Amino acid sequence: MPYRADWCKTAEMVPPLSILITGASAGIGAATATALAPLGHRLVLCGRRPEPLQALADQLGALAVPADVAQPADRARLLERTAAHLGDVPDVVIHAAGAFALGPVAGDEANLLERLWPVNVQAPYALAAATLPAMIRRGSGRHIFIGSVAGRRCFPGNGAYSATKFALRGLWGVLDEELRGTGVSATLIEPAATDTPLWDPIARDASPGLPERRAMLRPEEVAAFVVFAATRPAGVVPSLLTVRAER
Ligand SMILES: NC(=O)c1ccc[n+]([C@@H]2O[C@H](COP(=O)([O-])OP(=O)(O)OC[C@H]3O[C@@H](n4cnc5c(N)ncnc54)[C@H](OP(=O)(O)O)[C@@H]3O)[C@@H](O)[C@H]2O)c1
């Protein structure tokens, strides 16, 4: 097979893409938006809190759509506003919205799974289900799911979160099979612990095995892998990427 120079394209060389990012107001999603904007891509940013979302969108020249991706009506409005702004279904959807909580399964009266499932699993499933038909008709598109090390390894206290991230891994794996030959692809990126606001409510003594925040991955480091996956040329599928810190 002849050598194709575009396989070695850097992110800077890729023509402008239209990209929807959920969970864009903080953490990994915000770092990804911040890395993609200077490359000239057209971004739609989604998160629940309007103020930080709008502030980032103004800074990056992006469209902010405040929405709760756990709510079907919000998802429909998000997709309508995205299509109206971009003129088509996005080239790339980055599913970075996520919720996290720790606690043993035994005696979980808060039913953490009920809180985490709609954001971590139902939302990416529904957004993929709604956008894939148009992507498949067009013959191009990417869904990039932010999974977690907790989607392949089991840690005590992680019952609800791990259940959602193993489920997300299942969704990605099925899509990886279903989408073959369509020009549309699914990527799963599984970072280890990353120093984002997700950890702010977690007391360190609640889970003694956790790394210190300064030893965790930084959101920009994870964002670099998301940008890499988003900007691969057609015909190359970055299927599964795991990311961990070693320092
Ligand atoms: N941090 C880690 O250690 C780590 C490691 C592996 C994987 N991950 C995964 O990476 C993804 C991003 O996590 P992060 O660390 O960047 O978390 P984060 O700093 O807490 O940011 C989460 C983002 O998701 C948004 N969000 C949460 N619930 C939402 C909802 N219902 N609808 C719309 N937006 C929502 C938040 O904005 P609003 O609050 O304004 O809605 C925020 O923009 C998550 O899927 C997480 O599970 C994180």
pLDDT 10s digits, 27-57: 999 999 999 999 999 999 999 999 999 999 9
Q: Which ligand 1 atom is at minimum distance from the Cα of 217?
A: 3
Contacting residues for 211 by C-beta, under 8 A, at least 6 apart: 193, 245
CA nearest neighbour of 225 among 205, 203, 244, 206: 244
CA angle, residues 106, 172, 192, in degrees to nearest 5: 60
Contacting residues for 6 by C-beta, under 8 A, at least 6 apart: 233
| 8 A C-beta contact, residue 43 and residue 22 | no
C-alpha span between 190 and 226 (Å, rounded): 10
Q: What is the pLDDT of residues 136-149, one digit of tens each?
A: 999 999 999 999 99
Tell me the CA–centroid distance for residue 26 and ligand 1, in Å: 7
Mean pLDDT value across residues 213-239: 95
Residue nearest to atom 34 of ligand 1 (CA): 47
Pick the CATH number of 26-157+170-243 from 3.40.50.720, 3.40.50.300, 3.30.2040.10, 3.40.190.10: 3.40.50.720
Q: Which ligand 1 atom is at minimum distance from the Cα of 24?
A: 43
Q: Would you say residue 5 has pLDDT above 70? A: no
Give me the residues paired with residue 103 across strands. Answer: 158
Tell me the CA–centroid distance for residue 28 and ligand 1, in Å: 7
With residue 177 as reference, give the H or E element that holds it. Answer: helix 159-178
- Asked whether 164 lines ligand 1 (CB < 6 A), one says no
Tell me the CA–centroid distance for residue 51 and ligand 1, in Å: 16
Q: Is residue 217 exposed (0-12), middle (13-18) or buried (19+ Cβ within 10 Å)? A: buried
- Asked whether 168 lines ligand 1 (CB < 6 A), one says no
pLDDT at 1: 59
Percent of the chain having pLDDT more than 90? 88
pLDDT at 203: 79
- Asked whether 119 lines ligand 1 (CB < 6 A), one says yes
Tell me the CA–centroid distance for residue 4 and ligand 1, in Å: 37
- Asked whether 197 lines ligand 1 (CB < 6 A), one says yes
- Asked whether 158 lines ligand 1 (CB < 6 A), one says no
Percent of the chain having pLDDT more than 70? 95
C-alpha span between 153 and 66 (Å, rounded): 33
Residue type, 196: T
Average predicted confidence (pLDDT) for the chain: 95
Give the model's confidence band at 10: pLDDT under 50 very low, under 70 low, under 90 confident, else very high.
confident
Mean pLDDT value across residues 206-227: 91
Residue nearest to atom 36 of ligand 1 (CA): 23
